[in-house]
Amino acid sequence: MLTPNQIDIVKSTIPLLESAGSKITEHFYTRMFSHNPELKNIFNMSHQHSGRQSVALFNAVAAYARYVDDLPVLQAAVERIAHKHTSFNIRPEQYGIVGHHLIHTLKELAPDAFTLEVEDAWTAAYQQLADIFIQREEALYKENAQSLGGWEGPRRFRLETSKQESERVKSFIFIPVDQQPVVAYKPGQYVGIRVKPSHSEFEEIRQYSLSDASNGSSYRISVKQEKGEVDGLVSNFLHDELMVGDEVDLFAPAGDFYFTDRQQPVVLISAGVGITPMIATLETLARLQYKHPVSFLHACENDAQHSFKHRIKELSKHLSFSAHTWYNQSQDDHSVAVNGLHTGLMSLEAIQSELPVSAGDFYLCGPVAFMAFIKKQLLELGVRSEQIHYEVFGPHADL
């Protein structure tokens, strides 16, 4: 437990953290990877190049300092991060490495302000946070391992089949090499996959939403092929190099974003490859023959990039269902919907009468800017914030 004096000291460093900004985390990652390069086998290095990981870590450190005396405020963030950590197979000993480099980063960037008393306070604060994560992650590992078909750590899977879903999205179905059952998951959750691309010096771990209803025997992910050697390192490997019969390591399903059956209308809203957790949810609802209205709203660039278009029509036969799609680029210049197809950016005002504004759950997935744009529209229509649930690919960001 932190002493009241240590809490005061940590909170007093908030202005120092804010003035340094993401320089703290940039320095931290440079330091850590130079001393412990083996961690490059765990961290997503493309997020290092983009700066997204540094920003996310800085925001997390600053939030912890701000609420170090009111930790329940951070419960949702802890749950989200703990799930993500299990998909990387993060272990207690790695918290010691991270803590060492974080404390030394603060000392090196602010040697005058970071006195021995401040160092002791931050060391205690970091250990408190690490213990929270270690305990929660241990519970998640244990829960998975003790479930039917569950496991802990990496498990070997074989690519059984693949299928092109659209111009840039391809589905991959994996079955376990040991031919034993696989643990069930909730629609919306993701799985961690570890591969060794031919152009990478290190092993690479990525998280991809599971894109099918849980079946106890296989996992399907649907991956957009990204452009560029950095951002597209793993997706290009999966699309161009991974062959049927090849093996990969998977980590057990995780994620705190998933469909929760509240026996009320459901609205699934996605853009681009954000459709993947939504199609998993739709597959699940169809299998359950869900009795309440389901709306499926999707935005993508054009018809060629519209993933699962035909499958969605098939699933609609099993539900009280409505669908609207927005193509940013279209051969037809119509702003009024034709068979549920619109041109331009997604606009909810035109279909407001179809939406369960006061008594529905709205699930969002796509680029952060898209979700912020849609959340703003929903709030303006009268949807309450607690009705809106969302998933961010990569480091978390608030809408």
DSSP bridge partners of 158: 175, 247
- Asked if residue 276 belongs to a known ligand binding site, the reply is yes
Strands 155-164 and 169-176: antiparallel
SS3 category, 377? helix
* CA nearest to 129, candidates 207, 62, 38: 62
Ligand-binding annotation for 176, yes or no, is no
Rounded to an integer, what distance in angstroms lies between the CA atom of residue 285 and that of residue 321?
11
d(CA 35, CA 93): 15
207 annotated to a ligand binding site: yes
| Dist. CA 122–CA 19, nearest whole Å | 18
Q: What are the two backbone dihedrals, phi and then psi, of residue 323, each rounded to the nearest 5 degrees?
A: -140, 140
- State yes or no: 273 annotated in a binding site: yes
The answer to whether the annotation marks 277 as part of a ligand binding site is yes
Annotated ligand binding at 181? The verdict is no
Q: Is 290 labelled as part of a ligand binding site? A: no
- Is 95 among the catalytic positions? yes
**208 among the known binding-site residues?**
yes
Residue 98 has φ and ψ, to the nearest 5°, of -60, -45
According to DSSP, the residues that pair with 338 across neighbouring strands are 341
Could you give the CA distance from residue 263 to residue 56 in angstroms, rounded to a whole number?
A: 35
Bridge-based pairing of strands 388-391 and 361-365 is parallel
Residue among 29, 64, 95, 126 flagged as catalytic: 95
**CA 27 to each of CA 60, 106, 125, 297: distance values in angstroms, whole numbers, following the listed order:** 16, 9, 20, 42
What dihedral angle (degrees, nearest 10) is formed by the CA atoms of 226, 228, 230, 232?
Answer: 20
Confirm or deny that 85 is annotated as ligand binding: yes
> Known binder of ligand: residue 209?
yes
Percent helix, strand and coil across the chain, each to the nearest 5:
45, 20, 35
Active site includes 137? yes
Among residues 26, 137, 283, 391, the one annotated as catalytic is: 137
Distance, CA of 393 to CA of 399 (rounded, Å): 13
Nearest to 125 by CA among 67, 83, 59: 67
Angle (deg, nearest 10), helices 4-12 and 116-146: 100
272 marked as part of a ligand binding site = yes
**Based on C-alpha coordinates, what's the Rg of the chain?**
22
Per-residue DSSP letter, 111: T
Does 392 show up as a binding residue in the annotation?
yes
Exposure string of 220-237, with b = 16+ CB inside 10 Å and e = fewer, is: bbbbbbbeeeeebbbbbb
Residue set of the binding site for NADP(+)? 272-277
Residue set of the binding site for heme b? 85
Residue set of the binding site? 85, 190, 206-209, 272-277, 392-395
Report, as residue numbers or ranges, the catalytic residues.
95, 137
Residue set of the binding site for FAD? 190, 206-209, 392-395
